[in-house]
Amino acid sequence: MRFLLALIVAATLTGCGFHLRGSGSAQLPYKTMFIALPDTADVNIWLQRYIKASGTTTIVEDAKAADAVFQQLADSRLKTILSVNAQGRVREYRLQLTYRFQVVNAKGQVLVRPNEVSLSRDITFDDSNILAKDLEEGLLWRDMNNDLVNQIMRRLTIIKPRNPDLEDDDE
C-alpha cells in the first residue's frame, strides 16, 4: 500500500513539472559559451561549474568560437556601517554586492541586455570577537557569491535571447 501511495505521489509531482532546484533547471539556450572573466575569478569558477552541470552548454576557450559570450560590466562590493552603539563603536555592518552582466555573440551583438543583481547581508560586530567576525564576514561574502551565480543562471535560463540580426528596439 505504501509503495502504491509513493508511486502516485511521484507520478503527480512529475506530471506537474516539479523538479528540485538545480536539477535540470539550468538549460541554457546556447550550445557553446565563453566566459570573459579571469580564470581565478570566483564568479567564473562557479559559473563554469553550474554550466557544466547543466550538461547542455559547453564552455569554450575562444570567444570567436562561442555562440554566447558572458561579459561582466560591473562588480561592486561595499561594506558600510549600519549602526553604532552609545560609545560610537560599530555594532552592525551591511555587506552589499552589485553585479552587472550581459551576454553578446561573437560579433559583439547583444543577446541578453545588461542585467543587474543586487545582494545585501547584515552582520553584527563585536570588538571582543574580531577573528570570529572576520571569518563570519568571509562566509557571508562566499554565500553572496553563490547566491549571485544562482541568480545569474536563473536569469540566463529564463531570459529569451534577442535576435541581433533584427533591427534594435529603442532602448
Task: Kindly list the domain boundaries of the chain, sorted by start residue.
Answer: 21-158
- Mean per-residue pLDDT for 77-81? 95
At residue 164, the pLDDT reads 63
pLDDT score for 84 = 92
pLDDT band for position 17 (cuts 50, 70, 90): low
Which residue has cell 561592486?
76
Distance in angstroms (rounded) separating the CA atoms of residues 43 and 23: 20
Tell me what pLDDT residue 45 has.
Answer: 93
What is the rounded average pLDDT of the residues 91-107?
93
Would you say 105 and 97 are in contact if contact means Cβ atoms under 8 Å apart? no
Output DSSP code: residue 62.
Answer: -
The CATH number of the structural domain formed by 21-158 is 3.30.160.150
The answer to which of 35-49, 65-79, 132-146, 154-168 has the lowest mean pLDDT is 154-168
Q: Please give the pLDDT value at position 18.
A: 55
Average pLDDT over residues 146-160: 89
**Percentage of residues in the chain with pLDDT exceeding 70?**
88
pLDDT interval class at 23 (50, 70, 90): very low
Strand residues in the chain grouped as ranges (E): 32-36, 58-59, 68-84, 90-104, 110-124
Q: What is the pLDDT of residue 21?
A: 54
